[in-house]
Structure 1
Amino acid sequence: MEFPKLTNDLFIRSCKGELVERVPVWIMRQAGRYLPEFKEVRADTDFFGVCKTPELACKVTLQPIDRYPGLDASIIFSDILVVPQAMGLEVQMIPGKGPHFPQPLKTPEEMSRLIYPVDVHSSLKYVFEAITLTRHRLGGRVPLIGFTGAPWTLMAYCIEGGGISGGNLNAAKGWLYNHKEASHKLLRMLTDVCIDYLVGQIEAGAQAIQVFDSWAGELSPHLFYEFAQPYLLEIAEKVRAKHPNIPLILFAKGANHALESLAANSVYDVLGIDWTIDPTQARLITEKYKKTLQGNLDPAVLYCPKEIVDEQVEKMIQGFGIQRYIANLGHGMQPQHNPDSANNFINSIHKFGKEKK
Structure 2
Amino acid sequence: MPVDHAASRPAETGKPLLDALHGYRQSVPPIWLMRQAGRYLPEYRELRATADGFLDLCFTPEKAIEVTLQPIRRYQMDGAILFSDILVIPYALGQKLWFTEGVGPQLEALETPRDAAQRLSVTGMHETLAPVYETLAGVKAKLPRETTLLGFAGAPWTVGSYMIEGGSSRDFFKAKQWMFQEPEAFQALIDLLVEATADYLCAQIDAGAEAVQVFDSWAGSLAPDDVVRWSLNPLRQIHDKVKARHPQTPVIVFPRGVGPVYQRYADQGIGDALGLDTGLPAAWARDHVQNRLTVQGNLDPLRVVAGGEGMRQATRELLDTLAGRPYVFNLGHGVVPQTPPEHVGELVELVRSHGQR
The answer to whether the superposition gives a TM-score over 0.5 is: yes
Runs of 4+, deviation exceeding 3 Å:
none
Matches within 5 A, 1:138-153: 138-153=143-158
- TM-score, with length taken from structure 2: 0.93
Query: How far apart are the structure 1 equivalents of 2:270 and 2:229?
Result: 18
Q: Which residue of 1 aligns with 2:74?
A: 67
Matches within 5 A, 1:67-216: 67-69=74-76, 71-101=77-107, 103-164=108-169, 167-216=170-219
Secondary structure at the residue paired with 1:33? coil
2:279 to 249, 252, 276: 276
Secondary structure at the residue paired with 1:232? helix
Is residue 2:294 matched to residue 1:301? no
Of the structure 1 ranges 175-184 and 314-323, higher mean CA displacement relative to structure 2 is found in: 314-323
Query: How far apart are the structure 1 equivalents of 2:138 and 2:186?
Result: 37
* CA 1:323–1:355: 2 relative to 1, 3 Å: farther
Secondary structure at the residue paired with 2:215? strand
Q: Which residue of 2 aligns with 1:332?
A: 334
- TM-fit CA distance, 1:154: 0.5
- TM-fit CA distance, 1:340: 1.1
Cα pair 1:260 1:285 within 8 Å, conserved: yes
Is residue 2:65 matched to residue 1:58? yes
Cα pair 2:157 2:230 within 8 Å, conserved: yes
For 2:259, give the aligned amino acid. Answer: N
Cα pair 1:10 1:20 within 8 Å, conserved: yes
Matches within 5 A, 1:214-233: 214-233=217-236
Is residue 2:40 matched to residue 1:34? yes
Cα pair 2:16 2:146 within 8 Å, conserved: no
In the alignment of these two chains, the number of paired residues is 345
- TM-fit CA distance, 1:114: 2.8
What 5-or-longer segments of structure 2 have no aligned partner?
Answer: 1-11
For 2:69, give the aligned amino acid. Answer: L
Is residue 2:50 matched to residue 1:47? no
Q: Which residue of 2 aligns with 1:3?
A: none
- TM-fit CA distance, 1:20: 1.6
Secondary structure at the residue paired with 1:274? coil
* CA 1:118–1:265: 2 relative to 1, 3 Å: farther
Q: State, as a whole percentage, how many aligned pairs show the same letter.
A: 37
Query: How far apart are the structure 2 equivalents of 1:313 and 1:135?
Result: 30
Cα pair 1:22 1:322 within 8 Å, conserved: no
Query: How far apart are the structure 1 equivalents of 2:344 and 2:29?
Result: 16
* CA 1:269–1:170: 2 relative to 1, 3 Å: same
Is residue 2:260 matched to residue 1:254? no
- TM-fit CA distance, 1:308: 1.9
Secondary structure at the residue paired with 2:18? helix
What 5-or-longer segments of structure 1 have no aligned partner?
Answer: 1-5
Query: How far apart are the structure 2 equivalents of 1:288 and 1:332?
Result: 25
1:20 to 1, 26, 32: 26
Secondary structure at the residue paired with 2:318? helix
